[in-house]
Each structure stands twice: as C-alpha cells, then as structure tokens.
Amino acid sequence: MSGLMLNLVCEPSRGGKSGESRGNAKHERFLGRRHYLEHNLLKEKQNKMQNKKNMQKNKNKPRNTQLNGGDQSKPAAIFPKFTSYLPNKTNEPSSSAQTFSRKSTFSFPSQRHPTHQAAPPTLGPLKYVALDCEMVGTGPKGCHNELARCSIVTYDDLIYDKYIKPINPVTDFRSRWSGIRRQDLLHAIPFDQAQKEIVKIITGKVVVGHAIHNDFKVLKYFHPACQTRDTAQIPLLNQKAGLPVNEMVSLKRLTKAIFKKDIQTGKGGHSSVEDAKATMELFKVVESMGAKTLSSQPFSSESSESRNIKAF
C-alpha cells in the first residue's frame, strides 16, 4: 500500500490580529479593488453634497448683486449677438406708418412717454447738433403740419439746410411764420430722401432744439430722450432770463432776454437756420449742467400753446 502525504503550510496573517489567512493573491487583488471603488464612491458622494450646499447658498444670495454688475472676476457668458427685425412692442408704429418696411431705420413714438436714462457709455464723447424745422399746412384749411425746410448746425457751422417737398399737397404755406413760399418747393427734395439724410446726421448725437417734439413729429422720427435737449424746458434758462421757471417761453423771447438780440423780425417769416443757431447759443449757456438735468422732459399734453410756441 502506498500512502499519500499532504503537507499543509499555514502562514499566519501578515496584518490581522486573529491570524486567519487572507487567502490567495487573487482574493487580495479583489479586496484591494473593492476598497479603491468604495473610496471613490464615498469621495464622489461628498463632492455632490458639497456642490448642493454651494448651489443652495448661491440661491439665497440677494439678486441686486447681479444687477449691479455681479462678480467682476467671472467672465461674462458668451452668446452670439443678433439683430431682430420684428417691431419693438414699446415703440409700436402708428397705423399710418405700417406700410414701412420692418427693416426701416426709423422708429416712431409710442403713446407712452420716454423714460429718463443715462446716455449710453458706448457713444464716447457726445457730439451736439441743433435742429430746427419749418412747417406748412396740408389737408382741409391747412390743419395738418408737414415738413418743408430743415436746418442743422453744430457749435459753429451750418451742416444741413434744405427745402423739402411735403407728402401731401400744400393748402397753407403759412409764409408769415414759416417763411416758405410756393417757389421754394418747386425744386425741393422728396420727404423720404430728406428723412434719411437728416436721421443719418443726428443718429448717435445729442440733438438740441426748442419745443423739439414738434420737429421730431413732422420728421416722423423719435430720438432717445437721453440724447435730447429742449431749450424750452430748461428752468435755468428761464431763471437767467428773469422769467418764470415753469413757463414755456418762445425762442424769440428767450433770445432777447438773455442775449439782447432780436430774431424772427420782419415780414419774411422765420428762418430755420437763424432759429437753429439761436437754440445752440442758448444751450451753450447751460451746457456745463448734468445731462439728467438738461434731458428733455415728456409733455403731459400737447396744447395749442405748446404746439405753436415757436411762432410767438
């Protein structure tokens, strides 16, 4: 008979206290990988809990920090810029202007009054121009105002002065006030052409005028309130002229009181060039004041007195 001898070698556990065998190398690798995965899962769970706490903390922060500029160290989100050709709901065109293209560069006044806001910082050094328009009457008994002449001046120079043919037939030239006569309009440029030329000049500039809402109305154009200066609504000018602060004074009267100079004299009617230059000189008197103080104020109503303020 042959016998079978089995030698069992039992090594004590290297790190265990009980001395039990840790098994073979395969089992050791399994335990090591399991320990590694458990460590990673625990770390991932801790990271998720920390992120959740941070999100909750940021959610409870006041929103005015974002309105005031937020964290300047964080880069702004990058989105492509686009231009919408849809009409602006806050500046809906009137029913008579709906035939214009949606891509038109001209905007029309809404029935809401413009709000005051600071001039856009992207404009850089602001350029000032003074604008004055002369109007004629169309329709029954000349009841409708239409543009017949426009003049634009800078600080020192005349840069635009043209006669403009109204869209509708003229029924009242109002020569006594407008200075427009029939022969002046024989070779006048069409309204659409004049409108494009004028808007191109004044876009991006601060426009000065006297009762300038009347000029913008016949131009069928709306200029931002933050870039508009109306010398008929600057109380300091009235104060310097020794006139009631809240009174709307005509350009002729205001120029006479401050500069001791007569304008709009004679029977030939007004000159839009003379009126634009006088308006710019008045603005220079108060130019050093802040933009918010000089910005054009919205009209509560267009009474006959405010519409005809240039004529007296």
Residue identified by tokens 């002449």 is 149
Going along 62-205, which residue ranges are E strands?
128-138, 144-153, 158-165, 170-172, 189-190
User: What average pLDDT does the segment 54-71 reach?
Assistant: 60
Non-local CB neighbours of 178 within 8 Å, separated by 6+ positions = 134, 135, 136, 148, 149, 269, 270
**pLDDT value at position 137?**
97
Element (H, E) at 47: helix 25-59
For residue 282, what pLDDT is reported?
Answer: 95
> Residue 164's beta-bridge partner residues?
189
**Rounded mean pLDDT, 269-286:** 94
The residue assigned the tokens 């009235």 is 238
Residue 48 has pLDDT above 50, yes or no: yes
- Can you give the pLDDT at residue 310? 47
Distance CA 285, CA 237 (A): 8
Domain 127-311 has what CATH class? alpha beta
For residue 206, what is the enclosing H or E element? strand 206-209
Per-residue pLDDT, 307: 39
pLDDT for 23 equals 54
Please give the radius of gyration of the chain, using alpha carbons only, rounded to the nearest integer. 38
The pLDDT score that the predictor gives to residue 236 is 92
Q: Give pLDDT, residue 126.
A: 63
Does the pLDDT at position 197 exceed 60? yes
- The per-residue pLDDT for 106 is 38
CB atoms within 10 A of CB 54: 10
Residue type, position 153, single letter:
V
d(CA 297, CA 232): 10
pLDDT score at 25: 78
Mean pLDDT lowest for which of 194-203, 249-258, 288-297?
288-297
Global confidence as pTM: 0.57
With a pLDDT cut of 90, the percent of the chain lying above it is: 48
Long-range contacts (CB closer than 8 Å, 24 or more residues apart) made by 104-107: 105/196, 105/199, 105/203, 106/195, 106/199, 106/220, 106/221, 107/221, 107/222
Residue 111 has pLDDT above 60, yes or no: no
Token representation of residue 305: 């007195």
Give me the mean pLDDT over the 185-212 stretch.
96
User: Any idea what DSSP says for residue 188?
Assistant: P
**DSSP run (H or E) holding 283:** helix 272-285
Q: When comparing pLDDT for 143 and 311, which is higher? A: 143
State the pLDDT at residue 174: 94
- As given in the structure block, the two tokens for residue 165 are 């043919």
Per-residue DSSP letter, 308: T
Among 33-37, 104-108, 239-243, which is the least confidently predicted range?
104-108
Report the chain's mean pLDDT, rounded to a whole number.
75
Q: Does the pLDDT value for residue 114 go beyond 90?
A: no
Q: Are 237 and 294 in contact (CB under 8 A)?
A: no
Please choose, from the candidates 140, 141, 139, 130, the residue with its C-alpha nearest in 3D space to the C-alpha of residue 166.
139
pLDDT band of residue 46 (cuts 50, 70, 90) is confident
Cβ 183 vs Cβ 139: under 8 Å: no
- Over residues 19-40, the pLDDT tens digits come to 445 457 777 888 888 888 888 8
* HEC assignment per residue over 61-98: CCCHHHHCCCCCCCCCCCCCCCCCCCCCHHHCCCHHHC
Tens of pLDDT along 118-163? 444 444 456 899 999 999 999 999 999 999 999 999 998 999 999 9
The continuous run of DSSP H or E covering 209 comes out as strand 206-209
Q: Is-contact 131 213, C-beta < 8 A?
A: no
